[in-house]
Structure 1
Amino acid sequence: MRARLPATLALILCTGTAHAADGGTTGGMDEAPVAYVGGMPPVMDHMLYSHALLDEFEARANSHGGQFRYDGQAWFGTDYDKLWLKSEGTVGTDGRFGDGDHEVLYDRAVSRYFDVQSGVRVDIDAGPTRAWGAVGVEGLALYFFQLEATAYFSDRGAAARLQGSYDLLLTNRLILQPQVEMNLYSTNDRARGNGRGLSDLDTGLRLRYEWHRKIAPYLGVTYTSSFDQAASMARARGQRVHGVNVTAGIRLWF
């Protein structure tokens, strides 16, 4: 999250005297003030920025097969107000698109490290489409853990998602990242394989090398699991309940 310049500091930066090439100033106290468009100095935290991150773009493989997974997000706005887009999903060896989660959120900064987000989530993949209202928080928790906690509501009940990750710098470019994502639901949804209570878990440990800051290939190990009623639904469909995967991918941002 970008640090915000206090208004007084921004004013000092904008109205400071210019320095000539010989090291002296170009004017003194009698010099006319700088003219700004609209008569006001620019405010840094009202400037527009954009950012996109493809956090996971990876292939997963184990003795029973494999799948491709992506997880990305992008935002546009100021330091205080942003429009967020989030999307994630998987593609199996059969070409079936699953776990499709797509969100459009309004984001408002409420502190130096945390934002509140609200909007809509739509589950679109090979299964039935589901729509949810969403509200949550995202930011840096104690010791700079990246944290997302979101609640969802629809006519089918409620759901919640908790995500967390941490970047452990082994060197300036070699980074070890533990990650976890948990999904909970208030009711069963057999058509989508979601079970009441803790439904599923996706966690991993990835080692990436930032040979360019915006491009970082990585290797890792991931673990996925279904629980309780979601596990019973998976067994009934002949699907595996637990899985450990060797993972290789690339992380991109711009």
Structure 2
Amino acid sequence: MSKHTVMMKHVLGALALTALPAMAQMDHGDMQMQGGQPPADARDPHAYSGGFTLDEGPYALPGPRQLTLADEHWFYGVLADRLERVDNGDDQALAYELEAWAGLDYDRAVVRAEGDIEQGRLAEASTELLWRHALTAFWNRELGVRYDTGHGPDQGWLAAGVSGLAPYWLELDATAYLGDDGQTALALEAEYELLLTQRLVLQPAIELTAYGSNDAERGQGRGLSDLVAGARLRYEFSRQFAPYVGWEWQAALGDRADQLREEDEATQENRWVAGVRFWF
């Protein structure tokens, strides 16, 4: 070892001994680990611009505005989450669940439609027109109207709810309704996508519906009324197109089950489904 190297080791050792008392006296109480709560304005596109805009500041371009940021563009999408053939052992039907939306990052207009087609006729249908507003990075607020046809007299509703992505990638949707004659309803839905491979996806889902009062004519029972649970296994030829097969169990609960028993109808039903899921 050279004399120069030995001298450098002594110098560095002395500096370290000098710095140790100061380091021991440092207050680490205000130090935080990486992560934690994001700032309240984390989703605000103007929060970190330093006061500059496209119209003012040293980077503003002369004449009419020439740039449009991503959060100022209009986007749209159409999702056919379910387009399937349903077989319960006795009868067969076609079922659909569609959603279309258009708007900006924070505010969008949404149309949701679902229903059943039996023997070439629309047997039951529900259509919603909603305004969706982003509350946080993963949650939305929804307000709008809904219109049901097919089971008893037609019925209109006012709708208010939240939807979003919970921890562990669980998709949740909760909507409260106020309908004709003061009827109320609550619909809860949860689903999860389990990637068995990059193309083979298992999607279990569960849906609960509750009503504020009995309406046998429309098939509504007070309290928890309907439960639907099942799973669909799809193969994604592309992210936009995937055929699937699945199984679903539907059960009537509480007062709704009593109504069906009085009509000598089954309170539970098993159904096999096969269909296609696509979006663009």
- TM-score when scaled to structure 1? 0.83
Q: d(CA) in 2 for partners of 1:184 and 1:94?
A: 30
RMSD of equivalent CA atoms: 2.6
Following superposition, the deviation at residue 92 of structure 1 comes to 3.3
Which piece of structure 1 moves more, 48-57 or 225-234? 225-234
Q: d(CA) in 2 for partners of 1:95 and 1:40?
A: 52
1:1-254, aligned counterparts within 5 Å? Answer: 6-7=45-46, 35=61, 38-39=64-65, 41-93=67-119, 95=121, 97-98=123-124, 100-125=125-150, 127-154=152-179, 155-254=181-280
* Identity among equivalent pairs (%): 36
Contact 1:184 / 1:199 at 8 angstroms: preserved in 2? yes
Which piece of structure 1 moves more, 45-54 or 226-235? 226-235
Following superposition, the deviation at residue 112 of structure 1 comes to 0.2
Contact 1:4 / 1:45 at 8 angstroms: preserved in 2? no
Flag structure 1 segments of 5+ consecutive residues without an equivalent.
16-31
Following superposition, the deviation at residue 38 of structure 1 comes to 3.6
Contact 1:104 / 1:121 at 8 angstroms: preserved in 2? yes
Contact 1:65 / 1:93 at 8 angstroms: preserved in 2? no
Distance 1:216 1:74, change over 3 A: same
Q: d(CA) in 1 for partners of 2:268 and 2:62?
A: 62
Aligned AA (1:75): W
Contact 1:156 / 1:187 at 8 angstroms: preserved in 2? no
Q: d(CA) in 1 for partners of 2:159 and 2:80?
A: 22
Q: d(CA) in 2 for partners of 1:225 and 1:133?
A: 26
Which piece of structure 1 moves more, 40-49 or 205-214? 40-49
Distance 1:193 1:161, change over 3 A: same
- TM-score when scaled to structure 2? 0.76
Flag structure 2 segments of 5+ consecutive residues without an equivalent.
1-41
Aligned AA (1:112): A
Aligned AA (1:248): A
Greater Cα radius of gyration, structure 1 or 2: 2
